[in-house]
Amino acid sequence: MDAAGHGGEEGPVTVTRCHVTTGFFVLGRCGQAAAASCARCVRPVCAAHAGPGGLCPECAAAQGYGTHDPHEPSWTAGYRRHYYQSSSHAYADATWYASFDEYDRGAFDPGDDYAHGGDWGPDDDTGFVDS
Amino acid sequence: MFWRKQKAAIERFHPLHRALILDRACAVSLRRDDWEPVIQSLARHGAEVRRRRWRLPKRVPGVLVPMLRILAADMPPDGVLSVAADMRGSGVPEKKGPEQHVPTRPPISAMRQWYVVDPWLRMRAELRDGSVVELDVTDRIRNRRYRKNARGKVKLKSKSKTVQIVRVTRRLAKDAVVRPPAAPPPRWIRVRVKRGARMVIRANGKFPGPLEDQAMIDRILHVSTEPFRWTPPGTAARRAR
Ligand SMILES: [Zn+2]
Ligand SMILES: [Zn+2]
């Protein structure tokens, strides 16, 4: 579940990690030991994330295997892409969708610590300002 | 014994599910994974209970359950997710404001106006990047009752107009990596930012309603987007813990 918790594996064997995107606003990687590769996008998937037809949750949703019932745990992953699309549209912000899509397609490697952005200091306390 | 089977089914439901049926409200803080049995209990409602009186408020499956899933997806297992839901509707006396007389001109006369303020959902979640998100949804309904004189007949008329307000606040983790969005949010969303060791981003959205189900969820998510645009995917996600 947690993107931050799987960087420091020790021992001689390199384990292939599940590359499925987790989260909704705060994206991460599953990071469990992979058991297979997605039949469509070939990303490594763990046993829990391998869905119908050997598909990862994203590809399963894209192929119409997704559920429309939010009581189902798998609903969230399917709704996430709809959300990124509809919010990019509402914000007229194509980079917003692109940042999600790039993340999902693995342009960011699991385990990296990204530090770009952030162009002002943390102690720059000016109170609330309209943005 | 009427309704014995359905009564027994309700007895077997999760206590919070029961509260949502019988009180049409609940206020509770649970760790992430303790919400799953609540959702699974709610999932059985339609199959086991059909009596109108014990119907679930439609905003429970329509808005609450999806929002529980969405917030839980960003939480660590030990994160706390708090909910205060009041699904009793806008007809409850304590939500009604004072009546006022409104000046009128013929053919309209004797106009009274009052507002109903119905804050029906509040949620707070501790996320896995160390940020905390709080959201609330309020229906603000303006009611008017007046007489209208049309061709010698006096008719009693009433009108109501609903505005929905979604507020989302996100307090970032200490020293989180931030990237201010290049473009402002849509005009119906207002943003305020407080910079400090823990940056706070507040977004308020106001729109005509009442929206339900997916339309409502998407509005809540669109307001929530602004506080998350400051830490796009691949920037702050792994400052966690
Ligand atoms: Zn795939
Ligand atoms: Zn996995």
Supply the ipTM of this predicted assembly.
0.91
Q: Could you tell me if residue B91 is inside a domain?
A: yes
A106 contacts in B (CB within 8 Å)?
none
| Tens digit of each residue's pLDDT, chain A (131 residues) | 444 444 444 555 678 899 999 999 999 999 899 999 999 999 999 999 998 888 998 888 888 888 899 999 989 988 998 999 999 999 999 889 998 888 888 755 544 332 222 222 222 232 333 33
Nearest CB to A2; choose among B174, B194, B240: B240
Total structural domains within chain A: 1
What does the alpha-carbon distance between residue B66 and residue B224 come to, in Å, rounded to a whole number?
A: 14
Q: What was the pLDDT predicted at A62? A: 83
Provide DSSP, A50-89.
--GGG--HHHHHHTT-----TTSTTHHHHHHHHHHHHHHH
Q: Could you tell me if residue A32 is inside a domain?
A: yes
What does the alpha-carbon distance between residue B60 and residue B53 come to, in Å, rounded to a whole number?
A: 15
Total structural domains within chain B: 1
Q: Could you tell me if residue B31 is inside a domain?
A: yes
Residues spanned by the domain of A88: 8-110
Q: Could you tell me if residue B67 is inside a domain?
A: yes
- Per residue in B84-99, pLDDT (tens digit) is 999 999 999 999 999 9
A27 contacts in B (CB within 8 Å)?
233-234, 237
Q: Could you tell me if residue B198 is inside a domain?
A: yes
Residues spanned by the domain of B222: 2-228
Q: Which residues neighbour ligand 1 (ion) by CB within 5 Å?
A: A 38, 40-41, 56, 59
Q: Could you tell me if residue B78 is inside a domain?
A: yes
- Asked if B56 contacts B20 with a C-beta cutoff of 8 angstroms, the reply is yes
- Per residue in B127-174, pLDDT (tens digit) is 999 999 999 999 999 999 999 998 889 999 999 999 999 999 999 999
Could you count the other beta carbons within 10 Å of the beta carbon of residue B178? 20
Q: Could you tell me if residue A128 is inside a domain?
A: no
